[in-house]
Amino acid sequence: MLETYLINTNFVLLFVICLFYWLSAYDFLPVFFSHQWVLKNIGNSAILLSQIFQAIFLCVRWFTSHHFPLSNLYESLLFLSWLLTLLLFIINQKLKIPSSEFLIGSIIMPIILFINIFALFSLPSELKTSSALVPALQSNWLVMHVTVIILSYAALICGCLFSMAYLVLTRFVSQQEIETNLLTENQANQVLEPLPSSSNNKMQILNQTQIIHKAQPKQFMVVEQLMRLLDNLSYRTLGFGFPLLTIGLLSGSIWANQTWGSYWSWDPKETWALITWFVFAIYLHTRFSKGWNGHKSAVLATFGFFILCFCYLGVNLMGKGLHSYGFLN
């Protein structure tokens, strides 16, 4: 009963937070507040409250089941949701650009809300009830391996979402540049047409045209600053998640050897985890050695997001392989 109350209350709170960040990002809420820090404190306080609700739920689940709550898809999804809110809270504390936390919150909060919707309304009830661990999971490696893997997933998901938002802003800037260039040409033509062809008027025309073209980039200064922020955040969070994914794969191979007598058995989950590792290894390699950044890296990270989603959900939902326990079949 307590678990249901906590998770339902947190779901409502997450929905409100998501709506809050979307309205703030589109400047619907700031008009009612004279100071941006008021909205920032409201958002951070709500995220902190959600973390507390989720942490209490995980502790209650741990106490009732007598094992760390990561034995099935339901528990891992809610643990992932808690880690994503934690990362969002930490990132918001480090941001230096004014109002950028609203953009970051509007990017991460929808995926957190989607994870909770999927866990609460799509999974069968038998996965939501506490049960004893299967023999394969009765090991101290459960906390080490699964915790590190889910933490790496949270960091990689955040990095991929930032890259996807970067691509959206790139599209927005390109469209705005086309419209502004057309507007600038019309303004220049209006300046050029009515004046007679004297030397003084020609100098005046030239100066006015230069002013028009110099003022144009200022319209995109804020968007370009946010794009650089998203590219940097994507690189940093993916750079944080990749070593964790590596540690998770190594710890999983050691655990597999102790449980099944083999470090690597080419199980579908293991295979797709390796594919995921290679995709983000290529991402970091191209950043370091090839100097890729911006659009190219964002496209590669977006591709990695879909590979990661299939590795985490798709393989498990098929119910095949050695990692199918505690999941749908």
Task: Give 217's DSSP letter.
Answer: G
Contact 315, 272 (CB under 8 A): yes
- What residues contact residue 35 under an 8 Å CB cut-off, 6+ apart? none
Q: Picking from 154-163, 194-203, 245-254, which range would have the lowest pLDDT averaged per residue?
A: 194-203
The tens digit of pLDDT for each residue in 82-130 reads 999 999 999 888 877 767 788 888 889 999 999 999 888 887 777 777 7
pLDDT score for 65: 77
pLDDT score for 178: 46
Mean pLDDT along residues 266-283:
88
pLDDT score for 43: 81
165-178 residues labelled b (16+ CB within 10 A) or e (exposed) = bbbebbeebeeeee
* For the chain, the helix, strand and coil percentages under 3-state DSSP, each to the nearest 5: 80, 0, 20
The tens digit of pLDDT for each residue in 19-39 reads 888 887 776 555 445 566 677
| Closest C-alpha among 205, 203, 202, 315 to residue 266 | 315
Radius of gyration (C-alpha) of the chain in whole angstroms: 25
Please give the residue that has the higher pLDDT: either 26 or 41: 41
Q: How high is the mean pLDDT of the chain? A: 77
Name the token pair of 228: 């650089």
Is the pLDDT assigned to residue 68 strictly greater than 70?
yes
pTM of the model: 0.81
Contact 24, 102 (CB under 8 A): yes
Rounded Cα–Cα distance for residues 168 and 76 (Å): 30
3-state secondary structure of 72: coil
pLDDT score for 192: 42
Domain boundaries, the chain: 2-128+136-173+218-318, 176-216
Rounded Cα–Cα distance for residues 202 and 248 (Å): 69
The tens digit of pLDDT for each residue in 162-221 reads 999 888 888 776 555 544 544 444 444 444 444 444 445 545 544 544 444 444 454 456
Mean pLDDT along residues 138-160:
87
